[in-house]
Structure 1
């Protein structure tokens, strides 16, 4: 029985999880960097724990600090939200090893699917290793990324190296992992997703399709 949940995230996603927890009568714990000291998610949670520092790499991406915060606050479960450490199998294992409940996919599933390069290999889709004029335009994309971070569209070969460097730097800052890959960029394509939900008993639901084509800077608007 879960009685207290720490959300290893910030902003809207943390607030949404806290709202659901309140409806279920579950105590909530927020974590925050110094820069987010007075952010909304810290004010709506039942308790807030400081992660010393301002940059994500020193705070929200420090799984060891998040686990310590959960134990110190007396939480018995950790919800990663999305982004940050949500697709980090080592973080999921650290939560479980600390005797806490991990609200998310098992580490093995995260390991298989968290890296977009590994996921594509499992599906038989190999990223481009060499780019020629005939391949353009291409998309440089962060392997551990999401939310439009670590992505660059390349339309000229002489722009490729700078795009790789920029995407690596942004991916390292946002996800703690600078691995990137290159794939063909589909102009004017539709972005259609199928949401999958599964439980620990082997039941899997497909929650229908959604058209995410309306985007700004590779982030979904609707």
Structure 2
């Protein structure tokens, strides 16, 4: 992938990811390499806007670009099974670890973990990967980022696929009309900004991820080997050192 200018005007580039031999990160959390899975894709680090973001990429860089954006408690790996099929369908497809997640850089809480920064990262990524526009696929909070990117930079968003993601205006109206229903989201945001918060105990992370999977997936998926594998991966991702503030 060729280097290109990012949205902020700084130089951007991408280089192959190098596996980490570390088993634990700062503060006793897991190493980011815990989500460096093997498969029909390439792990790369993309340098833009002062951070290093991780992507898993597949397909010909000359084909139309598709960027896959994960939810608030996931990572690039949520899309690992669709990378190869999309590439085979004629797309240059990348699954992004948003800043603060997975193998991407994790700035301190409050430093660039807002939606506008996430939008800037996505639009900069399009240029760094050598494209003028992209199809954005976003799940949950990743869908909110996709909606905002399409609104702020319509010329760079060829199409948008929203997976379980309300339009931000509709979401804001719902939160204003029924604030109690969204109390857990406010508590989560405040908790993630508490001093010294770096990771959740494994049991707490497993309980939270199980609740999310049970609510977001079909009953016939529950109790399967694949369900257990997905749950384990998402729990491990939450326990990466300094990943909690991003979520």
**Same-fold call, TM > 0.5?**
no
Between Structure 1 and Structure 2, the one with more helix by share is 2
TM-score by length of structure 1 reads 0.42
TM-score by length of structure 2 reads 0.38
Q: RCO greater where, 1 or 2, for CA within 8 Å and sep 6 or more?
A: 2
Between Structure 1 and Structure 2, the one with more strand by share is 1
Work out which of the two has the higher radius of gyration on C-alpha atoms and give 1 or 2: 1
